[in-house]
Each structure stands twice: as C-alpha cells, then as structure tokens.
Amino acid sequence: MEYTHLGRTGLLVSKLCLGTMNFGPWTSEEDSHVMMDTALENGVNFFDTANRYGIWSGTGSHHGHTEEIIGRWFGKGGGRREKVVLATKLFGAMGDWPNEGKLSALNIKRACEASLKRLGTDHIDLYQMHHVDRDTPWDEIWQAMEQLYREGKILYVGSSNFAGWHIAKANEAAKRRNFMGLVSEQSKYSLNERTVELEVVPACEDYGVGVIPWSPLGGGLLGGVLKKIEQGRRATENMQKTVDRLRPQIEAYENFCAEMGENPADVALAWLLANPVVTAPIIGPSNIDQFKGSLRALEIKLSDEQLKQLDEIWPGPGGPAPEAYAW
C-alpha cells in the first residue's frame, strides 16, 4: 500500500479510501466487517462514512446504521480502531425536529456526540461538513469545531461539496481565529466529471487541502459499462440514457483500457491518483471482489502520452479559471 499526507497535514493515509455508504442497505453487517478486515490486511487505513449513511428506501435500515456497523466492528478489538483514520460527516437532517441538521453550533455539538456514540469511539480523526451551510456564519461554525477539538473529540476538519470560494472563505475565517481550518475536500471528481478543475482543485492546491474524490467511476460509467450491458447486466433508465449520449467516448475509453490490458475502473482510479492534489479516491465496494479489484489501480502508472490520450477522450473544462474560458 502507498500512503500520502492528508493535504498539508502530517497525517498519513492510504491512497485509496474505503467508502462505507453501502454498509447496511446493500452490504450485510457480516460482509461489511469482513470487508473492513480485508481493507486493513491490505494496508487501507482510511475509512469514510457519514451520520446519515445506512438508509435506503425499502431496505428497512435507518440513518446512522452504517456508523453503528463500523462501531460494532471497532468493538471487536484487535487494534481495529487504532489502525483506522476515521472520517465521518454531518449536515443532512437526522430527524424532523428543528436543529437536527446543517451547521449550527448546536447541531455540530449534538451530531458529533451522536456519531461518537454510534461509532463506539472517543474521537473522530476527520470531521467533515457534508455540504456548505449558507445560513450559518463561519465564526459560529469554527467556534463549534474549535470546542470539539479542545475536547479531543475531533482532530481535523474537512469539507465536502464546497465551491472554490467556499474553501477560501472558510480557511480565511479559520486563519483569523488561529485555527487550522479545512484540510480536505470531498468533491465529485472523475474522468467524465471534471468541473472541479476550474476552481475547486486550484483552491485546494493553494490552501494545502487534500482532494478526496467521490464517485470516481462516474456512477459506474467508467467501470466497463458497455461490456457489462453486452453481458446482460441491466442498466437503470438514467444510466442507459447517459450511455446512449456518451457512447462514442465510452467506446473510445473502453478500447483504450483494453489496449492497456487493464480494467476501465482501475484506469479511472489511476488517472485520479496521477494528480498530486488528490489524496485518495473513495472506493465504495459492495462486495470483497470489488474491493480487491480496486487495489490494482495503485500499480498502474500512466505515462504522459496515456494521460494526453485520456484528456482527448474525456476533455476537462480547459484547465483552471480564468484561463479555461478567458486569456
């Protein structure tokens, strides 16, 4: 396993992050525990979850279920908690009563304590804001995060789904308070979704914020979707529409991967890993085979020529703003 620093921190995390959103709704607790054990056996020490994970329509699970599954796994001992860099998130409403969501000081305190209880731990290594809260001032947010830090309940703070100017504003507000501020940003980022290259990625690079891409396979589009459909795998109506719209690019991409002798999903992850501002893409396997397959991405080193070819197949916005659209 390869390790890298989380943004500008001294914290070392694996270059693949285990996403746990499937734990509970789609992956049983027993299989989830096996997957987390397998992750540690393969050197993956970076786990990501969220307080709302665990619920999906018709599955009978509930908000917080995923954190509970992880907490019971920690409870087995054997150094499991000590080996994991644990990241969770807050923002979405956990109930129907006022102040059960977003980033007021009250909800930050309550949400953190509830996550700690479900996770069966005394601290969260990386506490992430799942979305920007336009209704709460940064001084209030940072005051609440500072209090949790002083109490030893969180160590680092990250963001998710922030715009570039949100990252700048948040970190400038933290700097005025002599607080470390954001050290990571989870963004939707993949070969076929490169909008963040305009301003989010440059902002992260400038502030020393590590990028943690979510949906690195474009919701399955970059995972060999054409081959899977040909083999009889059903695609959702929305996925089929996307495939029809992007078929020439997908065909070119899958042919490119076939010429390399690599699985499309692994190439998509390797492309993200080639970007120095990327800390670790989040992989969200629903079974052990998917998890083990993702490890191959760490061994793929794309040449400059191959990176150029991928840019031609999946062009980005043209680089950072303003050069992407102006001089």
| Mean pLDDT confidence for 213-241 | 87
Residue 299's Cβ-count burial label (10 Å; 0-12, 13-18, 19+) is: exposed
Give the strand pairing for 3-5 and 85-90.
unpaired
- What are 141-171's pLDDT values in tens digits? 999 999 999 999 999 999 999 999 999 999 9
Q: Is the model more confident about 236 or about 57?
A: 236
pLDDT digits (tens, 9 = 90+) for 170-202: 999 999 999 999 999 999 999 999 999 999 999
Percent of the chain with pLDDT strictly greater than 90? 90
* Mean confidence (pLDDT) of the chain: 95
**Amino acid, res. 158:** G
Type of residue numbered 310 = L
The predicted model gives 277-306 an average pLDDT of 94
- Position 23 confidence tier, pLDDT thresholds 50, 70, 90: very high
DSSP 33-92: HHHHHHHHHTT--EEE--TTTT--TTS---TTHHHHHHHHHHTT-TTHHHH-EEEEEE-S
> For the structural domain made of 3-223+263-313, what CATH number should be given?
3.20.20.100
pLDDT for 105: 98
Identify the pLDDT of residue 160.
Answer: 98
Residue 238: what pLDDT? Answer: 85
For position 233, what pLDDT does the model report?
75
Q: In angstroms, rounded to a whole number, what is the distance separating the alpha carbons of residues 250 and 54?
A: 32
Catalytic site includes residue 253: no
pTM of the prediction? 0.95
Task: For the chain, give the percent of residues with pLDDT over 70.
Answer: 98
Q: pLDDT category, 237, cuts 50, 70, 90?
A: confident
Give the whole-angstrom CA distance, residue 92 versus residue 100. Answer: 8
| Residue of 53, 127, 189, 253 marked catalytic | 53
User: Per-residue pLDDT averaged across 276-282, rounded?
Assistant: 97
Instruction: Provide the residue ranges of all domains of the chain, joining segments of one domain with +.
Output: 3-223+263-313
Note whether 314 and 191 are within 8 A (CB). Answer: yes
Higher-confidence position of 237 and 195: 195
pLDDT beyond 60 at 211: yes
Place of tokens 């470390």: 180
Quick: pLDDT tens for 245-273. 999 999 999 999 999 999 999 999 999 99
Give pLDDT tens digits for 66-125. 999 999 999 999 999 999 999 999 999 999 999 999 999 999 999 999 999 999 999 999
> Which of 21-35, 42-56, 221-235 is least confident?
221-235
For residue 228, what pLDDT is reported? 84
Q: Which of left, alpha, beta for 61 (phi over 0: left; psi -120 to 50: alpha)? A: beta
Place of tokens 């056996």: 41
pLDDT reading at 322 higher than 70: yes
pLDDT surpasses 70 at 57: no
Q: Say if residues 94 and 134 touch (Cβ distance below 8 Å).
A: no
Amino acid identity for residue 280 in this structure: A
